[in-house]
Structures are given as structure tokens and as C-alpha cells.
Structure 1
Amino acid sequence: MAAGVVLVVLAVVGLVVRPGPVDGWLSAESAAPSRAAATPDPKPTPVLAAVAARGEVPSAVAVKEALDPLIGAAALGDNVHASVVDVASQELLYSRDAEVPTTPASTTKLLTAVTALAARGPAYRLATRAVAGTSPGEVVIVGGGDPTLAINAKGQFPGAARLDKLAAQVRKAMGDTPITKVTVDISLFTGPETAIGWDSEDISPLGQVARIQALMTNAGRITPVHNEHGGDPRFADPALAAGRAFAKLLDVPAEKVGKGKAPATADAAASAPAAGSAPGRELGRVESPPLVQILDWMLQQSDNTLAEAVARQVPLAAGREASFDGTSEAMVQKLRDLGLNGDEADLYDGSGLSRHNGISPALLVQTLSLAAGGTKPELSAMFDGLPVAGWSGTLRTRFVTPRPNRTAQGVVRAKTGTLSGVNTLAGVLVTKDGRVLAFALMASGTSDAGAAKSALDKVVARLVACGCS
């Protein structure tokens, strides 16, 4: 591979450093406002610094010698699948049942992120609309599949679209026409609202996921907060809850809220006096942050509901049914369109919560390599959201013990996956010699999650420390 492409790969993946000022920037209290500086502000020390291309491609024999004892650890059980590839050369460095699909848990979200980016692009926004209903005074809120929608400024996701702003637009558009009824249209998504393989307790009381509907606030959470440990209880009917919150902002009683479908869009040439009441007339619209930002939240927090909503964008972009089955089929087809082996993915959801999912380590590594390779720049946006070892998201407290694991802090970006008896980790790293490797480690026979996570960390840390050339 040409040196220029190698540099693109390294710049995309990069190293994460903890410069001295960063902790201060993140933790210091706001200073009193001051006058604008007469000279330009100094350029901040980068949090993400590209690494220089150097080092030989690791030897597959040396990698095998380094990893076999660690992958054979008792904490990982006897059913471990693994794959490691040098991104720049595409040379396979390690393989253990790598082409056999196994339970991926939340590493499924890597495929969700890549297929959604390929289908919609990083800048795509999800719109929530309000239109006039068929009866006088009826307002229909049309769910656009935005799971980050907030009720007001106290939402969970910074910069999210807000119902209070939508309500203000509706009031203005309706003018003197009294608003008497709110109808909730969630027809954008079809089919069952939960996936095969989900435990009913995952919705309530554990709150690992919401019922997947085209309208919800704060990813269906009752309280807009994410708990890293434990659950975030969700509404039994997120769309109806959002509709009632919207109705309250319009001074419409909760009993006047129901589900239905919006009328066909009114003729844009309709006369102005009828603007507030013509059936189907758009009364207001709010839009989500760009898709890449939603993916950042999805990957950092491993948010299952965000993953399912984002995954729906793949079939919608293809004009297909946005159901669980339609989404799975569209994701697999998009993988094939990207030149990846979609046959090594058997998907029942986009979050990895279903135990029926099967993905091979080889497919995960191929997907990561494609995203990091520079030929599909829209896919590289995924890496901004991947948790960084010892720094962010679900890896913030990983790679701490034993001490040798710390060598991976700041140089590993990866997605974790955890179900009972299943522990997975897949991502990219930079070795001590400056080689970018993509890896997927998938253990599906574990008995102690904490020990299994530490064992996976040891494997990755060894890859970082091993020149293996």
C-alpha cells in the first residue's frame, strides 16, 4: 500500500494523549468573562495526535506466539473467536475460528454505525414534524425516528431537537385556531417493537432498551439520564409519552392524545388563510444533530435504543420497510455493497442485545479496516465515537489492572460487548512500532464478566506492546 494511504490510516485512527492542560480544561470552573484578546488564541495542544508511519508489518508467527497463551486463558472459556489484521497491508496476523459467526453482543453496533454512515452520510439529520390534522384544531406529531429528541432544555443529549421549540412553531402557525387534539403518527417504523432474543426485563425495570418506535424522547427514558451501571427505566409506550409531553406544551389534555396517521401533505399552493388548518399542512419542524453525533453517543454509551433507531435509517434510505426484519436485511445488503462478506452476519437487531445475532470476527475486522483505510472517508467518522482505552465511554475504566494493561491506554479505540456469558471487544490500536491493527476478540463461554474483560484487555495490551516483527 502506498505511503500516502498509510498516513491517511494513521491520521484517522491516531494516538490519544493526555496533555497536561486537558484535565484542567475539563474540570476547571468557568472563569469570569474578559475582553477579547488582541492577538489570536494559541492553538490548543491536540487531544488526538496522528502517528507517523513506521515499523515493519508484524510477523503472524510472532503474533500467534504472543497471543495464544492469553487467548487460551481460563477466564475466556473454551469458545473464543478472534481475528487481527494489519490495516495498511491488509495482512492477516491472527485467526481463530475467525470466519465462524458467534454472539457479538454490542460489537454489533460497529456494523450499525458503518451501514448507517454508508446509507445516509455523517451530516444527515432526523426531522420531527407537526402537521395539521383532518379535524379542526387537530395537530399531528409525525415521528421521524429521532431517538435523541428532548422535551425541553433538560434533555439527555446536548443540542437535541426539542418539543418545546416545535410547540412554539405550531402555536404560531395555528394562529387563532384553538388546538384541541394531538395525534401521534409513528408509521415510519413498522412491525414488532421488540426483537427476537430480547428479554422483557431489558425494557423494564432494567431499561437496557426501549420499545422501538418512530417517536420518543431521551431514547425512551423516563428520566433523561444515562446510568453506566444498572438500568435506565423506559416508558412502556415511548411514543404516547412523547405525544402527551407535546400536548402539555400546547395546553391540550392528556386524554385528547391518541395514535393515528397524518393526512396527506396539503398542496403548497393552498391559500394563506387556510394555512393553519389545511389537513397535512406542515406547522413546524425540528431536526436532530447530525447523524455522526448520534453515532458518537450510541458508541460511547453503548445505547441500545439509539442503535436500533439509527439502524432503521439503512432500510429507509433504500426504500425498504423499517422493521426489525427489513433492517437486518438492509444492513446485510449494505455490507455487501461495501464489498464486505455480509454472509458472515446473521442479524436480529442493530444493538446486539439479541442473543440470536451472529457475526464473525473476520467481518468485524474487515469492517474496521475499511473504515480506517481512507477509501471511504464517510465511514471514518465512526472512530470519533469509539471509546478510548483509559479515556472515554465504556473503556474509561478499562486497561487499568494488571499494570501491563496500561500500555494500551490512549492507543486503543474499541467497542465493548457484554451479555451474560458473552464478552467481546473489537476495534483498532496502534502498536509500539506505529502499525495500525484492527482486531476482534469474541468469547461466548465466560462465567465471570470482570475476569473476562481483564483477560481481553491483556490480549489487546500485548498487541500494543509487541512489535512482533
Structure 2
Amino acid sequence: MGGVGLGRRIGDTLRLPTRPGRVVLVVLVVLALAAAGGGAVALQAPNVLSDLGLRAAAVPEKTLDVPAPDLVALPAAAPTPSSAGLGSVLDPLAGSTALGEFSGIVVDPAAPRGAAPLWQQSPARPLVPGSTGKLLTAAATLLTLDPTDRLATRAVAGAEPGQVVLVGGGDPTLTALPEGRTGTYPDPARLDELVAEVKQALPGQAITSVVVDTSAWTGPELAEGWDSADVAGGFVAPMTPLMLDGGRRDTGVQDTPRVADPARAAGQAFADKLGAARVTEGTAPPNAKELGRVVSAPVSILVEHLMTTSDNVLAESLARTVALNRQADPSFTGSAEAVLAALAQSGFDVSGARMVDGSGLSTADAVPATLLASVLQSAAAPSGPDQGPEFLRPIVTGLPVAGGDGTLDDRFGTGAAAAGRGVVRAKTGTLTGVSSLAGVVTDVDGRLLVFALMSNGQSPATVRPRLDTIAATLSRCGCR
């Protein structure tokens, strides 16, 4: 019933012949809409009756109290902590030998990029970042792609009758779960939808075989510095541009063992749903007819999810997408170079940074805390007509909340670190001998601060509580 509004439907279907009947119907519709609109509208209903001639006099309207918002903007004039004040409380904590090789920095996101840090300790020293390296991939993604862009998986006609080619486009969120069920990814593309589109495009035609096309990416499936045990351990999958639910065996668990051949598994699931008996590997014919396509959630949503869950597979997929958009080689090497190039082109100083992957899972990665802080500073900076755009804001909105969700849900629970619960939002990074924490925190004066803390050489069991304590101390300190 395109273009037909509520009033037209009432007139066409009920056809009330008398004026009184029409008035009663209008009143009922008005009252129904008022009730749906909330208390403020409903309180005006007696005067609606008066206006329609159904009540002799208007009833005085009740004056409503103005609600006081629980969440308010931070005060723009909140005082900035001094370097001396921060040093007096952070230096003793950061000077502990238990932190091993340490680098840290605190900056004001409202200050111009390049302004002097509020506090620092060896901030230019490149250290292995762990998953805080995902901040670089997330920023490059948002700077390279449109936030509404989506990753696509396509089905095209094969070279033979009855053959369909499943073309991977780098979307790890594709799922074989039925509508109404979702695994770990938000609003995933659905294999069932792609199957339905293929059947609609080939009515009555028997589909005999499926070809799996993973030619969108190049190079090895595991990066330098990765441990192959991480696949069985559930932290990453062999990287191919076609997989279901990030290659997970258990689609509802974030870190669960992954399948050894994600593309083959996806092709087999597709073939089973189409009734095809054979699955092979190959490439789509040139200019093949597209039979269907399904897409992921928007890039901005994927970045938020990446920040919250620290999903390694999603990070690698986004890095490859950056490489393809920058016409670079979509391999581990090419995508890592493309990420840093995108940041450099946007004015970030990437001196000293070396990435060999997009997730920070590699022990061969090295990043200075200054770069992590600079990315977060831009993401958290004030925005508006005179202050700049919000290109990087999904990085901040996706950061886990201390003691609340994501990779911080079980941290900041005891001792001095407990003061940071609900106040600190940060990206974590943990590998053997590697601990990092980079995010934002609001101090007692209402000033938003950005911090990046990195440690190499000591056990995370020892270091992580100390990093949490430093971040929590920032939340308690006006430090002027």
C-alpha cells in the first residue's frame, strides 16, 4: 500500500457515513496516539476534548517538572591537571620494577595534536602492543572507508551449468545460523539469505556444485609472530576472505577453537543448503553474473565491536579491506603497511611503529605509546562546527568499560584499581610477557584524559593489576 497513509486507510476501509461517528473515531485515534506518545501528551487530552466540543470547558493543564538528566556533558571548563601533579602520583606507580620495560603517556584530548603531554615516561619507546595495536587498524579503517560501508559476500554463476561460485569478500561475520539467532557478531550477513537469492535467480535449476573463491586476499593464512596453537586455542582463525562466524566451532563463544579450513567449511555449508553434492576451490569466471549478495553490519558498528571484544579475525579482515581500498597488496604485509600509511596520510606520526598484522597478535609488532595516545586523542577530541569531525568516535564508544563489559569485565575489581570501575574505558592488550592498556578516563574535576600504558618482559598476571591501578589513580586525581 505504498504512499497510503493512516487517514486514507481509515477513509477507505471504515467509511463511517455520519459526522458524529467520524468525530468519535477521530477522538479515539487522537487519544491512542497521545497515549503512545507519553505522559506529556496524554495530560493534554482533556483540552483536546474541549476543542472538539465534547467537553464544556477546558481543564487546567498540569505543569510538569523539568527532569534532571542523569548523564550530562563534561564541563568544558574543567581544570586540566598539571604535569607536576600527575607526576607526584603516577611516577611512584610507573617506577615499579615489576612493570618490566615500561612506557606511558597521559594527554588532554582537548589540546591540539602535538601539544606537550601532561605526563610521560619513555613514551617514544616502541614496545610490543598486543591488542592495543587494534587501535591503529580501527583508526585506519574509519579514515579510509565510509562508516556506512559494509563487507559483502557474493554468489555468482560458475563456468558450468548448475555451478555456483561463492566469492569471499572479507566478511567474517557471515553466519549459517537461521534468522532470529545470532552468534558473536552484531547484525551478521546470513547464508540463508544468500541461498534464497541464488534460488530466486535460478528458478527451477538444479545446483550441482559450489566453487569457493578466496582470491580476494593474498599471502599466508598465519602472520609472522603468531603461534599456530592460537587457532586451536580459539584466539584466531586461518585468515581467508570467506568464513562463517569467524571460523568458530561454537558460534556463540568469543574465544573458542576455530576450524582448520574456514573457507572450505563455509563452502560446504552453502552447498548443503543448496543441495549441491560437490565443493571445490577456484575463482569466479570473468564478468560472471551475480546471483546474490549479503552484507555485514556497517563498518562503524564493526569497529565498535572490535574495540569491545578485541576480535582478532575481525581486525585482520578490516586491515585487508583498508589495503584493498588503498590499492595495496591484501596480504598481512600489505595490509599492515596500508594501515600505517593511512595514519601517516592523516597526520599521525608513525615513527618507530612496525606492524606485521592488523590485530596486534604478533610478537613482532612494535608501537610507541605516543602513537596509541595520538589516535585516542583524536578519537576523543571535542567535535563540532568549529572543532572538527567525529570520524574516529566509534573507537571511543566501543571501548570496554572497566568492570562492566568486553575485555575489561573482570578487571578493576579489587584494591586501588576498584576506583576505576565504570570510569575507565580502555582497550586491552595481552600476550606472553606483554601487557598494555590504552583508553580514556574522567578525573574528579570532570576532565577527560587519554592514557596509553605499555609493559614488556613481565607476566600479565603481575602487570595488569598495576596498569589498572595507574588508570584508576587518574580517575581519583585532580592533580593540579
Counting only pairs closer than 5 Å after superposition, residues 82-161 of structure 1 correspond to structure 2 as: 82-89=104-111, 90-153=115-178, 154-156=181-183, 157-161=185-189
- Alpha-carbon distance, 1:50 to partner: 2.6
1:242 alignment counterpart: 266
1:398 equivalent to 2:411? Answer yes
Would the alpha carbon gap of residues 166 and 348 (structure 1) be closer, same or farther in structure 2, given more than 3 Å must change? same
Question: 1:380 is matched with which residue?
Answer: 393
Q: Whole-Å Cα distance in 1 between the matches of residues 298 and 399 of structure 2?
A: 17
Counterpart-to-counterpart distance in 2, 1:317 and 1:42: 50
2:211–2:280: 8 Å Cα contact kept in structure 1? yes
1:122–1:381 CA contact under 8 A, matched in 2: no
Pair 47,451 (structure 1): closer, same or farther in 2 beyond 3 Å:
farther
Q: State the one-letter code of the partner of 1:40.
A: G
Separation of aligned partners in 2, 1:406 and 1:45? 28
SS of the counterpart of 1:284? strand
1:435 corresponds to: 447
**TM-score of the pair, normalised by structure 2:** 0.82
Match of 1:344 in 2: 352
Distance 1:42 1:286 in 2: 42
User: Which of 323, 337, 344 does residue 329 from structure 1 map onto?
Assistant: 337
Gaps spanning 5+ residues in structure 2: where?
1-31, 41-66
Offset at 1:341?
A: 0.9
User: Does structure 1 residue 465 correspond to structure 2 residue 476?
Assistant: yes
Alignment of 1:286-365 (within 5 A): 286-365=294-373
* Aligned-partner Cα distance in 2 for 1:106–1:42: 47
- Any conservation in 2 of the 1:141–1:184 contact (CA below 8 Å)? yes
Shift in CA distance, 36/209, structure 1 to aligned 2, threshold 3 Å: farther
Cα gap change, 1:45 to 1:314, in 2 (>3 Å): farther
Structure 1 residues 348 and 179, CA gap change in structure 2 (3 angstroms): same
- Whether the aligned pair in 1 keeps the contact of 2:301 and 2:394 (CA below 8 Å) is no
In our comparison, the structure showing a higher alpha carbon Rg is: 2
Aligned 8 A contact 1:119 1:313 in 2: no
How much does 1:49 deviate? 4.3
Structure 1 counterpart of 2:104, which letter? A
Once the two structures are superposed, what CA deviation does each residue of 1:91-139 show, in whole Å capped at 9, x if it has no partner?
4111211111100000001111110011112211011110001111100
* Aligned-pair CA distance for 1:347: 0.3
C-alpha displacement at 1:376, in angstroms? 3.6
SS of aligned partner of 1:370? helix
Rate the CA distance shift 1:107–1:45 in 2: closer, same or farther, 3 A: farther
1:219 aligns with 2:241: no
Match of 2:86 among 60, 63, 70: 63
2:285 to 255, 263, 274: 263
Runs (4 or more) in structure 1 with deviation over 3 Å come to: 41-49
Q: 1:38 aligns with which of 32, 35, 45?
A: 35
Partner of 2:49: none
Structure 1 residue 46: Cα displacement: 7.6
Secondary structure of 1:116's aligned partner: helix
Paired residues of 2:157 and 2:164 also in contact (CA < 8 A): yes
CA shift digits 1:434-469 (9 cap, x unpaired): 22211110010212x233211111101111111111
Normalising by structure 1, report the TM-score: 0.84
Aligned amino acid, residue 38 of structure 1: A
Indicate conservation of the 8 Å contact 1:222/1:235, yes or no: yes
Are residues 155 and 257 of structure 1, via their aligned partners in 2, closer, same or farther at CA, if it must alter by over 3 Å? farther
Quote the residue 2:211 is aligned against: 183
Give the secondary-structure state (helix, strand or coil) at the position aligned to 1:346: coil
**TM-aligned CA distance change 1:102 to 1:183, over 3 Å:** same
Q: Is the 8 A contact 1:121 1:291 kept in 2?
A: yes
Deviation of 1:47 after TM superposition, in Å, equals 8.4
Query: Take 1:46 and 1:293, find their aligned partners in 2: how far apart are those partners?
Result: 27
Distance 1:97 1:186, change over 3 A: same
Q: How many angstroms apart in 2 are the aligned matches of 1:459 and 1:141?
A: 49
Higher relative contact order (CA 8 A, sep 6+): 1
For 1:461, give the aligned amino acid: A
Aligned to 1:80: 102
Task: Give 2:230's aligned residue.
Answer: 202
Identity of aligned pairs, percent?
45
Aligned residues: 412
Contact 1:138 1:179 in 2 (8 A): yes
**Whole-angstrom CA distance in 2 between matches of 1:53 and 1:284:** 50
Deviates most, 437-446 or 294-303? 294-303
Structure 1: gaps (5+ residues) = 1-34, 266-279
Displacement after TM superposition at 1:42 (Å): 7.3
Letter in 2 for 1:385: G
